[in-house]
Amino acid sequence: MDYTILVVEDEPVQLESLAGFLKKKGYRVLMAGHPENALCIVRDNAVDMVLSDFKMPGMSGVKLLEAIKEINPSIQVIIMTAYGTVESATDAMKLGAADYITKPIDLYRLDVLIRNIVERKQLVSENRLLRQQLSEHFRVDGIISESPGMSRVLNVAGRVSDSNASVLITGETGTGKELIARSVHFSGSRSDKPFVTVNCAALPENLLESELFGHEKGAFTGADRQRKGRFETAEGGTLFIDEVGEIPLSLQVKLLRVLQEKTYERIGSNTPLQANARIVAATNRDLEAMISEGTFRQDLFYRLNVVSIRIPPLRERRKDIPPLVELFVRRFASENNKRIAGISKEAMDTLMKYSYPGNVRELENIIQQSVVLSRGETIMREDIPARLNERAPKDNPWQSVEASFTEKVEAFEQSLILDALRETGHVQTRAAERLGIGERHLRYKLKKYGMKQVLGRSAIDYMVETTTI
């Protein structure tokens, strides 16, 4: 085992016997018969633990402990003490000793005690590593922010991460709200505390309440044991309230109270609990519109919206598309064990033009699909789902100022026809019915606009060939 224990004991027989026992247990063992000597060894060797006598000539156990901690505070120290000096041993614990054991030494107890300390230390360092990986992942590696819009988002997220202020993240679906919520937590001072999520859209009102605040045994039918709420589990860390716009009004009042008073009770209890989790909320709803409709409380909005982060839709920050594509290609290529070197220019052009109503998540799905479908080492235009080649509603020429009246009308017609075809599974009879025109009339229009049926690899789709006006 790669774990080094230094035994410090002025009684030679005792020293040898302890050292022999620990060696047999698989530890690397160093020995010192004198405290001064022990300090030299600690200075020159990578020592993980010191097992030291408490009363020795030249230096007391407490002094030795202090000196060791000064050299290397991560060294675990166990004090060996005779009966009657237990009080000073507990003092030593206050100074940072990991534990103490009384003399005569029960070797079995000593073994258990050391093993516990070793395991605890491993756990702590594993946790630290894990947290480090997480926070690195979310802070730098994971988040693409090539565009000015997204850099601003990350900038604000970074600046608020150490504060306790509530943060409200808004943005269309799939823009990365949860990702940013995590980055606020993992790049801040609370990163070693829990990040807890509650999704308000996923639960009916009564369950949501007990999910947030917890409940006592017997608080309601079915509450067969006490349960901690998310506020409690998130203690000291961050509570991420996702889809906050879905909270029913009655629960909004209760949430507001908690945010104002910083205390709450589990359902069925009178004991107030401290709410000290930092709140990050997210929604794709327009909360201000909801306020004017009377479905969201204004006072709650102000509490949540101390810092507001609005994530722009992907179509407003197209500079992020190429690096996102690269990130996702790499991710899905390795997930699917495929060698993919890159993406063709035409394929990238198609991706750059699309409007992404589902934002980054939609792009992620598109790339996943394309990676799976691709046959060579380069993703080609044919590997991209056919719907991307259709004109996006936002880019429709009837909205463009330059197009003439006729062009606008025709473009509008084409778009109505495409929608009808898509909604009816491309059955022309049904599409014509939906449009309220005859089937022959529809066929005429299809011909006029050069809309021909093409067999895509995954679906039958229509392509508009006369897209340039």
CA distances in angstroms from 243 to 178, 201, 341, 370, listed in the order given: 10, 6, 38, 30
C-beta closer to ligand ATP: residue 150 or 208: 150
Alpha-helical segments (H) within 7-106: 12-24, 35-44, 61-71, 86-94
Q: What is the CA radius of gyration of the chain?
A: 33
**The token pair that represents 150 in the structure block:** 């997204």
Alpha-helical segments (H) within 280-344: 287-293, 298-304, 321-335
Question: Of 8-16, 98-106, 176-184, 250-258, which part binds ligand ATP (CB under 6 A)?
Answer: 176-184
Q: Which of 91, 99, 111, 178 is the binder for ligand ATP (CB under 6 A)? A: 178
Q: Residues 126-145: x/- map of binding to ligand ATP (CB under 6 A)?
A: ----------------xxx-
Question: Of 177-185, 258-266, 345-353, 455-463, which part binds Mg ion (CB under 5 A)?
Answer: 177-185
Residues 6+ apart with CB under 8 A from 17: none
Instruction: Tell me the CB-side half-sphere exposure of residue 333, using CA atoms within 13 A.
Output: 18
Please report whether residue 174 would count as binding ligand ATP according to CB under 6 A.
yes
Please report whether residue 456 would count as binding ligand ATP according to CB under 6 A.
no
C-beta closer to ligand ATP: residue 82 or 201: 201
Please report whether residue 173 would count as binding ligand ATP according to CB under 6 A.
yes
176 binds, among ligand ATP, Mg ion, none (CB under 5 to 8 A by kind): ligand ATP
Question: Of 170-178, 330-338, 362-370, 444-452, which part binds Mg ion (CB under 5 A)?
Answer: 170-178
**The token pair that represents 311 in the structure block:** 């994530």
415 binds, among ligand ATP, Mg ion, none (CB under 5 to 8 A by kind): none
How many angstroms separate the first and last alpha carbons of the chain?
A: 75
Q: Which of 91, 99, 178, 413 is the binder for Mg ion (CB under 5 A)? A: 178
C-beta closer to ligand ATP: residue 76 or 283: 283
Helices and strands in the chain: count of H runs, count of E runs = 18, 18
Q: Residues 317-356: x/- map of binding to Mg ion (CB under 5 A)?
A: ----------------------------------------
Q: How far is residue 62's CA from residue 89's CA, in Å, rounded to a whole number? A: 8
Q: How far is residue 181's CA from residue 432's CA, in Å, rounded to a whole number? A: 47
Task: Kindly list the residues in this chain that would bind ligand ATP in the complex (CB under 6 A).
Answer: 142-144, 150, 171, 173-179, 284, 324, 327, 360-361, 364
